[in-house]
């Protein structure tokens, strides 16, 4: 039993345990090109949360990782078979209930460890922050934690070289052989502002990608996946440690 993983814990241990930070990993269940499993985001969340928490725990941080929420916002993929969708308003309802438990039981710090681009927790955190003023609510999208360009040659944001490498490292038995990998070619919006990033509209996934991937996975390797995983979890572990050890009443400084 790892004391920082709630799913492995028991009442015998927990009745006397105290934690400073709860981590809620949040994934999605969706197609990932032809070759990665629907639960790719869930496996990634599980492993990144657990290893980051181990790193923080071993430095003395009292962190507890909750089970990963398996469904994300997939409104742009309504026509892709068995891509599951929960509404942002449902995410707000789920999070409100979880925050209420933590607030009542005196764990005043919560970090959402997000694995899926369609999940946008910032407005939800703003809303719940007003409702639960004692709580410190925060968010990290692990895929933004280190510079992908230092690890991977081809860009992308879904089932790409990064994600394929990571899954080759974490769950190789669930990655189809290379001849099945699609090219992850993405069609761009005809309207310039959307491609430049200063205007936004949701991508209609089945119209932008044939194989559901965005980003060419062909140069993915297990070695790249391992290096990236270690870099992400080291950084995320340090973040968890810092959140645990910093007083929220004294969060800001002139000198950082």
CA-based R_g, the chain, Å: 19
The angle subtended at Cα 223 by Cα 56 and Cα 238, nearest 5°, is 15
Min dist CB 41 to Zn ion, Å, is: 4
- Residue 31 binding Zn ion, by CB under 5 A: no
Residues 125-154 that bind Zn ion (CB under 5 A): none
Q: Is 211 near Zn ion (CB under 5 A)?
A: no
Stretch that binds Zn ion, among 40-48, 70-78, 122-130, 224-232 (CB under 5 A): 40-48
| 170 touches Zn ion by CB under 5 A | no
Q: Does 20 bind Zn ion (CB under 5 A)?
A: no
Q: What are phi and psi of 138, to 5 degrees?
A: -145, 175
| Angle, in degrees to the nearest 10, between helices 40-58 and 222-245 | 50
Taken in order 123, 92, 76, 31, the sign of the CA dihedral is: positive
In contact, 40 and 84? CB cutoff 8 Å: no
Instruction: Establish if 66 lies at the interface with Zn ion (CB under 5 A).
Output: no
Q: Put residue 156 in one of left, alpha, beta given phi > 0 → left and psi -120 to 50 → alpha.
A: left
Position of minimal CB gap to Zn ion: 41
Q: Which stretch binds Zn ion (CB under 5 A): 41-49, 76-84, 164-172, 236-244?
A: 41-49
Min dist. Cβ of residue 186 to Zn ion (A): 15
Q: CB of 225 within 8 A of CB of 168?
A: yes
* 40 forms part of the interface with Zn ion (CB under 5 A): yes
CB of 168 to Zn ion, least distance (A): 14
Q: Which of 144/246 has CB closer to Zn ion?
A: 144
Residue selected from 20, 41, 46, 83 as contacting Zn ion according to rule CB under 5 A: 41
Stretch of residues binding Zn ion (CB under 5 A), selected from 33-41, 49-57, 215-223, 243-251: 33-41
Sign of CA dihedral 140, 146, 151, 157: positive
Binding residues for Zn ion, per CB under 5 A? Answer: 40-41
């Amino acid at each position: 039993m790892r004391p920082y993983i709630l799913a492995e814990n028991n009442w015998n241990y927990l009745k006397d345990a105290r934690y400073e930070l709860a981590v809620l990993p949040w994934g999605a269940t969706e197609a990932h090109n032809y070759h990665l499993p629907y639960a790719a985001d869930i496996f990634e969340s599980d492993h990144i949360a657990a290893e980051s928490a181990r790193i923080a725990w071993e430095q003395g941080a009292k962190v507890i990782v909750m089970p990963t929420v398996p469904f994300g916002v997939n409104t742009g993929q309504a026509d892709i078979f068995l891509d599951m969708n929960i509404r942002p308003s449902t995410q707000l309802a789920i999070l409100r209930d979880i925050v209420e438990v933590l607030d009542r039981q005196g764990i005043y710090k919560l970090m959402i460890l997000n694995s899926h681009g369609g999940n946008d927790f910032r407005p939800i955190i703003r809303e719940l922050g007003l409702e639960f003023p004692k709580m410190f609510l925060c968010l990290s999208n692990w895929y933004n934690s280190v510079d992908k360009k230092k690890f991977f040659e081809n860009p992308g944001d879904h089932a790409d070289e990064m994600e394929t490498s990571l899954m080759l490292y974490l769950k190789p038995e669930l990655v189809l052989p290379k001849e099945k990998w699609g090219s992850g070619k993405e069609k761009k919006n005809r309207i310039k502002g959307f491609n430049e990033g200063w205007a936004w509209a949701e991508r209609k996934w089945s119209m932008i990608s044939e194989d559901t991937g965005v980003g060419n996975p062909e140069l993915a390797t297990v070695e790249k996946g391992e290096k990236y995983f270690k870099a992400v979890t080291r950084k995320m572990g340090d973040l968890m440690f810092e959140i645990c050890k910093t007083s929220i009443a004294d969060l800001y400084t002139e000198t950082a």
